A and B are shown apart, each in its own frame.
Chain A
């Protein structure tokens, strides 16, 4: 499910504060999964923080989203800077769809001037990437993996046995 989140950056927040908000959003979303840990997501975002703060401060996240892919979640996070940041309407609720996720990945944009910094930040971290994110898969659904309805129970109701 493709979702968008916009976070107000400068002058509403400093680059560090903005990155903390994004970290919280990512961690809250990933934490919906029983198979994934919030601490792990926070650690991944902490590893990416040096590059992340520069992406925010340079206004790169205004134009190039950070993308979180976790189960059904496909969320593009961008920032808004300048005057618009003062009146931006934020939805910082966790993105639904990660409950069944068993893995996640955070794709950082790597614009030209910061490509090397971003590459350094993601190197060696399994949940970070500077590659282009895959296209969202809109055909997947959030239903439980098994059937929703027990057809045998319906059959019993039909036959009365």
Chain B
């Protein structure tokens, strides 16, 4: 895979309803979204004006937490949240798939990581427009060197992590319009030097009971736009009971559970408005019992 192919998306984003919805659908504890937005704003205000030696700001925020909690969606939604604060109202979003960078050939991983982060991404953002770079599942390229064994792991992995750190330092000084948002499910697998370069490491936790209810309600209400009969279910105590049962479930699974409930009967497949609280409860119970990903209560 060529380095260029590791960039899965390069878009200029405006404050559109579709882009704003990326943040609206994610339910996280109060303050999480504000911290992400404010860190990126602060970074883009201070870094062009104050030398790196003074701020030590790398323009890097790491979102970590269990799978299915919305880290990637929050990262993808950040440009639209910044757009209203940017002259011209446009922010570039570059999404990177780091998995393609690692090569079996000796020395290649380091070279490719350096080429992507220090050259290709700055080139894509060469017009100086504020840019959010999403590094999804960053643990695949910023591997914790302290946790790896040179006997079991090729030195290439260590060198690739070095290349990430070097590129971050370089970009911090030369490209204040770049803001990196890294996501990870495995913070222990992340290199310590990488984490210390993060201006903020923000936990995106599993949803609380209240958040689970909010997710279930918002998903049902979204469907109610097309199938109005579902409004009654959205406001019923059955959803609260389902949220109680779903404790420990991640947000993505909670959203999917509504569709699992719909798929339990052919009647509800044909007419989703016929969904009942019992369908929902049964789907949650199944998810918990089956120990599906995210159903930690199993």
Contacts and interface: CB of A to CB of B under 8 A. Distances in A.
B232 interface: no
Interface in A125-161: 138, 140-151, 153-154, 157
Contacts of B86: 148-150, 153
Given A32-B126, A151-B45, A93 B120 contact: yes
A142 B45 contact: no
A144 B173 CA distance: 14
A148 B126 contact: no
Interface of B: 41, 44-45, 48, 84-87, 107, 111, 115, 119-120, 122-123, 125-130, 170, 173-177
A96 B107 CA distance: 23
Nearest to A72: B174
Given A95-B119, A143-B48, A153-B84, 10 more contacts: A1-B174, A32-B123, A138-B173, A142-B176, A142-B177, A145-B128, A147-B87, A149-B44, A149-B45, A157-B85
Interface residues of A, number: 30
A91 B130 CA distance: 27
A137 to B, nearest CB: 11
B126 A142 contact: yes
Contacts of A143: 48, 128, 175-177
Nearest to B4: A93
Contact of B126 (A89, A99, A138): A99
A63 interface: no
A147 B48 contact: yes
3 tightest A-B contacts by CB?
A: A144-B128, A96-B123, A99-B126
